[in-house]
Structure 1
Amino acid sequence: MTDSRPAPARHRGRLRPLSPLREHLREAFWFAPLLGCAGAVLLAGVTLWLDEQAVRVTVRETGTADDLVNFTTAAQSIVSTVSSAMLTFIGVVFSISLVSLQMAASQFSPRVLRLYVRSRLTKATFASCLATFVFTLLVQLGYEDTDDPALVISVPVASTLVALLLVFLSLGLFVLYVQATLRLLRVPHVIDRVTRESLSVLAGYRLLGPATGPAAGLLPPDGAAVQLLHEGHPGVLRGIDITRLVRLARRNGAVLHLVPRIGDFIAPGTPTVLVAGGTAPRPRRVAAALSIGVDRTMHQDLSFGFRQLVDIAIRALSPATNDPTTAVQAVDRIHQLLALLAPYEIGELRHRDAAGDVRLVQPVPEWPRTVELAFTEIRLCGADQPQVTRRLAAALGDLLRIAPEARCAPLLVQRALLQRAVEEHVTDPAGRAFALEPDRQGIG
């Protein structure tokens, strides 16, 4: 259990605030390209206006627009070439993205596809390429089919320069996009990315501070609490708007006990909140503070980080792949996360209002369940791989030295199960001793 502390000025020490709109836009692939196209339309209007002003200034100062007319033919050729080539370039970028997604899903896990979908660089590359195409297309509409300087109203000087700048920007982003895509196709970088996101969630837990004992008196006896049922769409609980729920509980003079954990599937009629004291808020107000989606995210879900690392490891251990080294790399990061999590009491997060009163109690996976999630499937799939069992033995040995004594029981259970699994798969005594010898590199 973890207790959040009130701050003098505003409520601090809580998990990252949930913004459903921001989360939706980060996962939506249409927003950035659409924004880029809208910007291209505005930019085209501005540059066409500047082209008209350039002709007026030139005619006023020199009395003729002959020099600008000579520039028109070359400018039209450049912009037309950019417009036709950029559409093909967009197809290349899109093809690379599809191939990357397919390879990532088959090599790592379908859960890691979110790294590609949420990539800001990928969206910026698409937005830049589409903006360049739309800009050059609109600029060509402003061309004038005349060679008479007296009839010239505008010459695409500014439009051509802006088009060239957009081309250079698109090429630069494309180079960075290819580099980032190649990095995300390598196992160590994907594992590192998942770990860094998990650490950001873990940092929110650590900011909440250590536990202060059971929340006595917060939850009334059985039958005394009002149970609210979910009335929204079914889906996975991806996150909660802590600020809204705390404000809602304070307004009703109650304490809200969230029933499902982040990552649980919620169907209509599923209990979502137990209300202790005060008056029960409307279920729809509670549902408005819950982010429901089709899959899990890393926003407030530490277990999802472990889930992705475990999925990468067991996929690498499948007979079709047979890559124990990748599994060892995943165990390295699982070891890292558990070592950081070991000193902290989890199982319940308590969020307080500005007055310091507990208003929201949120369940999170306890230490034993987290240890089971981290090791069970990898142990079952890698019991016949000495490289994996040696790395698991080293991780469990280190965690037993790091974790407080009260938290060693689940680790001891996992070590005993590892020994039993190795004994079932390795009949030779020398081979069993080798497979159970702790080694941080597996088999160096």
Structure 2
Amino acid sequence: MPDRNHARAHVPGPLVYLRSRMWVIPVFCLAGGVGLCLGTLAIDHATGYRLLGQGLVGSSTNAQGILSAVAATMTTLIPLVLTITTVAVQLAMGQFSPRIVGALLHDRVSQWAMGLFTATFAFAIVAMRNVQASRTGVPGLTLLTAYLLVLASVVGLILYVHHSSRSMRAAGLIDLVGDHTHREIDRLYPVEREEEPAPPPDTAEALPRADTGVRHEVLNAGEPGILVRFDLARLVQLAARADCVLETVPVMGDFVHSDSPLFRVRGDIGRLDQAALRRAVVLGDERTHEDDCAYGIRKLVDITERSIAQPFNDRTTAVQSIDRLHDCLRQLVCRPFPPGCHRDQDGTVRVITRRLTWDGFVRLALDEIRLAGCSAPQVTRRVRALIDDLKRLAPPERQEPLDRQLRLLEAGVRRAYDDEDDITAALTADYQGIGSGSDVTR
């Protein structure tokens, strides 16, 4: 019978929570600025304010004026960072995809720029107060550190403006998503991994010794949310301790409703610590790139579809997005996929997870674009080049999904055009959409 004992609501793990919040780095930098100032002041006081002379750092009056100007300048730069980030978010939501907003808000360059300005502001405020209170001398090391922080802030401002101007371009936003996805594919699908086929769920190997043939369910007893992470090592440990097998019901990125099943259990559910089991599942308010490289592909597909549709009708941006989709599929085409079975130290299968197959990745990347772009020659030519390239690389067992896409692409183009010359042109492989195909180059 399904277990309906309630546990506390699921909340993201501490590291996941901190990595997903924009304010974390600026707040830590603020505390770091205060701590750095207190440290330099302590050194100045211990050396009797004679560590650096006035010839280098100036008088106390000059120091107060400089620190006051620094604090005022930083209070201007911090809103500047927030304004530029807001503009980039509005641009991305309106023209590309609302799902890019998370990547922009979590952009580390913006966070570190804001953190540097915040740290300099905090340092200047604390230093200014101590310079005013000091009657014995000028804290030279503190002032020198303040000057260095100002120089670092100037350099940081230049780099941040350069980064922001690149990020607000169409190619910059697409590359932001593409780079995240590229890194996650490298992490989750390493080249050196040996593929281990998952045994069918009903095989004897997957069943615990004490299995009764009854499959119980562990339900989500907390708030609903999107599955962003499984703690697989913890799940294997809990299943081994209870001598059972856990089958995960949702796939990474699924929305999990309240009282919907998280796991199916084979074995004695009474021996399982269900509260600990639920704590090994992280539910969030939106999908993340971590452990979910399909989310990056989802974003790139959204950008492509919106670029094809009215009123944007920006086929060149669509081609740029397909370039990054091509890169993702090219990474995956020859790599072994991780097994869906996770074993304990004795080699017994303890956790069985569902995972996206090669066919699933191909359909995720191409199905919607193919349906939306059959009447756009730039899109069909670029998709044809993508398919032809993957077919040259794919092993025999991964050819069928590509053959399916090629067949459906040809059928869609024939429905969109009546003239045979238009059909031939739309089905010619071209990495630029129109510009590098065999029919337009020599």
Structure 1 and Structure 2 fold alike (TM over 0.5): yes
Residue of 325, 342, 348 corresponding to 1:334:
325
- What's the TM-score, normalizing by structure 2? 0.86
Q: 1:260/1:219 Cα in 2 relative to 1: closer, same or farther (>3 Å)?
A: farther
The one-letter code matched in structure 1 to 2:225 is: G
CA shift digits 1:313-347 (9 cap, x unpaired): 11111211111122122222222322332345659
Q: Which sits farther off after the overlay, 390-399 or 334-343?
A: 334-343
CA shift digits 1:395-438 (9 cap, x unpaired): 22233333333333332222222222212221222111111122
Deviation at 1:292, TM superposition (A): 0.6
1:424 and 1:200 map into 2 onto residues whose CA distance is: 38
1:344 and 1:92 map into 2 onto residues whose CA distance is: 44
- Determine whether 1:417 maps to 2:401: no
User: Which residue of structure 1 aligns with residue 34 of structure 2?
Assistant: 41
Residue of 7, 17, 23 corresponding to 2:16:
23
- Determine whether 1:214 maps to 2:205: no
Q: 1:394/1:56 Cα in 2 relative to 1: closer, same or farther (>3 Å)?
A: closer
User: Which residue of structure 2 aligns with residue 255 of structure 1?
Assistant: 245
Q: Is the 8 A contact 1:75 1:156 kept in 2?
A: no
Q: Is the 8 A contact 1:391 1:442 kept in 2?
A: yes
Q: Which sits farther off after the overlay, 213-222 or 191-200?
A: 213-222
Q: 1:269/1:54 Cα in 2 relative to 1: closer, same or farther (>3 Å)?
A: same
- SS for the counterpart of 1:28 is coil
- SS for the counterpart of 1:143 is helix
User: Which residue of structure 2 aligns with residue 197 of structure 1?
Assistant: 180
Q: For residues 58-137 of structure 1, what are the structure 2 equivalents within 5 Å?
A: 71-137=59-125
CA shift digits 1:274-333 (9 cap, x unpaired): 122354523322221111111111111121121011011111112111111221222222
User: Which residue of structure 1 aligns with residue 155 of structure 2?
Assistant: 172
1:427 and 1:68 map into 2 onto residues whose CA distance is: 81
The one-letter code matched in structure 2 to 1:210 is: E
Q: Is the 8 A contact 1:240 1:290 kept in 2?
A: yes
User: Which residue of structure 1 aligns with residue 307 of structure 2?
Assistant: 316
User: Which residue of structure 1 aligns with residue 381 of structure 2?
Assistant: 390
2:422 and 2:395 map into 1 onto residues whose CA distance is: 32
The one-letter code matched in structure 1 to 2:307 is: A
Q: Which sits farther off after the overlay, 345-354 or 65-74?
A: 65-74
Q: 1:332/1:144 Cα in 2 relative to 1: closer, same or farther (>3 Å)?
A: closer
Runs (5+) with no aligned partner, structure 2? 1-11, 436-442
The one of the two structures with greater contact order (alpha-carbon pairs below 8 A, sep at least 6) is 1
Percentage of matched positions with identical amino acids = 35
The one-letter code matched in structure 2 to 1:342 is: V
Q: Is the 8 A contact 1:346 1:365 kept in 2?
A: no
1:125 and 1:77 map into 2 onto residues whose CA distance is: 24
Q: Is the 8 A contact 2:194 2:336 kept in 1?
A: no
Taking only aligned residues, the RMSD between alpha carbons, in angstroms, comes to: 2.7
CA shift digits 1:52-95 (9 cap, x unpaired): 3454659xxxxxx9989971121111111111222112122221
2:264 and 2:194 map into 1 onto residues whose CA distance is: 24
User: Which residue of structure 1 aligns with residue 256 of structure 2?
Assistant: 266
- SS for the counterpart of 1:142 is helix
Q: Which sits farther off after the overlay, 108-117 or 46-55?
A: 46-55
CA shift digits 1:151-203 (9 cap, x unpaired): 93342322221211111122222222222222222333433343333233333
The one-letter code matched in structure 2 to 1:287 is: R
The one-letter code matched in structure 1 to 2:41 is: L
Q: 1:339/1:83 Cα in 2 relative to 1: closer, same or farther (>3 Å)?
A: closer
1:170 and 1:282 map into 2 onto residues whose CA distance is: 51
Runs (5+) with no aligned partner, structure 1? 1-18, 59-64, 146-150
Q: Which sits farther off after the overlay, 253-262 or 200-209?
A: 200-209
Q: 1:208/1:241 Cα in 2 relative to 1: closer, same or farther (>3 Å)?
A: farther
- Determine whether 1:295 maps to 2:286: yes
Q: 1:391/1:247 Cα in 2 relative to 1: closer, same or farther (>3 Å)?
A: same
Q: Is the 8 A contact 2:197 2:339 kept in 1?
A: no
The one-letter code matched in structure 1 to 2:189 is: Y
- Determine whether 1:325 maps to 2:310: no
Deviation at 1:208, TM superposition (A): 4.2
Q: Which sits farther off after the overlay, 233-242 or 119-128?
A: 119-128
Residue of 345, 351, 360 corresponding to 1:360:
351
- Determine whether 1:240 maps to 2:258: no
Q: Is the 8 A contact 2:57 2:63 kept in 1?
A: no
Q: Is the 8 A contact 1:229 1:283 kept in 2?
A: no
2:308 and 2:350 map into 1 onto residues whose CA distance is: 45
- SS for the counterpart of 1:365 is coil
- What's the TM-score, normalizing by structure 1? 0.85
Q: 1:432/1:77 Cα in 2 relative to 1: closer, same or farther (>3 Å)?
A: same
Residue of 167, 171, 180 corresponding to 1:188:
171
- Determine whether 1:32 maps to 2:22: no
1:267 and 1:25 map into 2 onto residues whose CA distance is: 24
Deviation at 1:262, TM superposition (A): 0.1
Q: Is the 8 A contact 2:341 2:352 kept in 1?
A: yes
The one-letter code matched in structure 2 to 1:200 is: R
Q: Is the 8 A contact 1:225 1:276 kept in 2?
A: yes
Q: Is the 8 A contact 1:232 1:284 kept in 2?
A: no
- Determine whether 1:403 maps to 2:387: no
Q: Which sits farther off after the overlay, 234-243 or 433-442?
A: 433-442
Q: 1:362/1:346 Cα in 2 relative to 1: closer, same or farther (>3 Å)?
A: same
- SS for the counterpart of 1:370 is helix
Q: Which sits farther off after the overlay, 306-315 or 119-128?
A: 119-128
Q: 1:238/1:182 Cα in 2 relative to 1: closer, same or farther (>3 Å)?
A: same
User: Which residue of structure 2 aligns with residue 429 of structure 1?
Assistant: 420
Q: Is the 8 A contact 1:310 1:377 kept in 2?
A: yes
The one-letter code matched in structure 2 to 1:262 is: M
Q: Is the 8 A contact 2:374 2:416 kept in 1?
A: yes
Residue of 350, 353, 375 corresponding to 2:366:
375
Deviation at 1:213, TM superposition (A): 5.6
- Determine whether 1:438 maps to 2:429: yes
The one-letter code matched in structure 2 to 1:257 is: E
